[in-house]
Amino acid sequence: MDWLQVILLAILQGVLEFLPISSSGHLILFPAMLGWDDQGALFDIATHFGSLVAMVIYFRKEVISLLQLNAHRNVMRLRINLIIATVPIILVGFFFGDLILILNRSPVIVAFATIFFGVLLWLSDRFGKKISNIEGLNYRSSIIIGISQCLALIPGTSRSGISITAGRLLGLDKESAVRFSFLLALPTLLASFTWQVINYSAEAQSIGPDQLVVAILLSAIASYLTIKLFLQFIRQIDFSWFMLYRIGLGLITLYLFI
């Protein structure tokens, strides 16, 4: 990999991991559009590790609370909800991992998923009821959010996007839906990182050790800033802009690859 590819893709992954426009989809489409070779499994592992580090640093107080044995009742409830919501994607990833790897190479699938789930995100925010916050989330809703998150294994869906969509449809206000989605990223990214390491092929990689370190750092910095700014301005953010961007990207992709 050349340095431009390393820098651009690491920042993209860091930013888009938490925006509802799909980091995996962009990491497929951008190299394809620019004529770059596939960045390889080692690069993906490094950038996901960077995002995971950023999550732990930003939510360090929540992480400490969630790990305490004698936690407050609300914290214990949140901990159980996060565990429940994480289980489905672990099971689906374990049993259908090979199929996911095949889907991850199709720009056309990325395009259709980008458009469809972008529209669904906007509809959920536009018409979803605002009747509860994160403390009012019940176990049934957590299971539904967890099952919906499995759709993010289809490239172009967006893990944060589909979990926010499910949360809004279940009645969470926008801020609570986004916050739960981000907290859910902690165990989900950890599971994804572990799965990638276990299934990592030792085949020749095109990225050097110095580039690997830079990729981790850039992904971590981009992830941290994105989380901070997104949560800070969530009440002013209009999801229709994400929908329009996703539709435009999907149509361009279909034009280029069909």
Which residue is it, tokens 């732990």? 56
Highest averaged pLDDT of the listed ranges 87-96, 131-140, 157-166, 199-208: 157-166
Cα-based angle 9, 10, 16 (whole degrees, multiple of 5): 80
Residue 132 or 161, more confident: 161
| Contact (Cβ atoms closer than 8 angstroms) between residue 138 and residue 176 | no
Q: CA 36 → CA 11, 30, 174, 202, distances in Å?
A: 16, 8, 37, 21
What is the CB-side half-sphere exposure of residue 32 using CA atoms within 13 A? 18
Q: How far apart are the first and last CA of the chain?
A: 27
Domain limits at 128? Answer: 3-257
Helix orientation angle between 73-95 and 174-198, rounded to the nearest 10 degrees = 50
pLDDT per residue as tens digits for the range 220-255: 999 999 999 999 998 888 899 999 999 999 999 999
pLDDT per residue as tens digits for the range 53-97: 999 999 999 999 988 887 788 889 999 999 999 999 989 877 776
Q: In the chain, what percentage of residues exceed pLDDT 70?
A: 94
Name the pLDDT band for 99 (thresholds 50, 70, 90).
low
pLDDT at 162: 95
**Which of 26, 24, 21 minimizes the C-alpha distance to 44?**
24
Q: How many residues does the chain have?
A: 258
- Spell out the alpha helix ranges (H) of the chain: 3-16, 23-34, 41-58, 60-67, 73-95, 97-103, 107-127, 139-149, 159-169, 174-198, 209-232, 240-257
Q: CA 5 → CA 22, 41, 101, 119, 163, distances in Å?
A: 18, 15, 22, 30, 29
pLDDT per residue as tens digits for the range 26-63: 888 888 888 888 787 788 888 989 999 999 999 999 99
Distance, CA of 10 to CA of 216 (rounded, Å): 7
The DSSP code sequence of 88-133 is HHHHHHHHSHHHHHHHTT-HHHHHHHHHHHHHHHHHHHHH----B-
pLDDT at 201: 60
Domain count within the chain:
1
Q: Across the chain, what does the average pLDDT equal?
A: 88
Distance, CA of 104 to CA of 99 (rounded, Å): 9
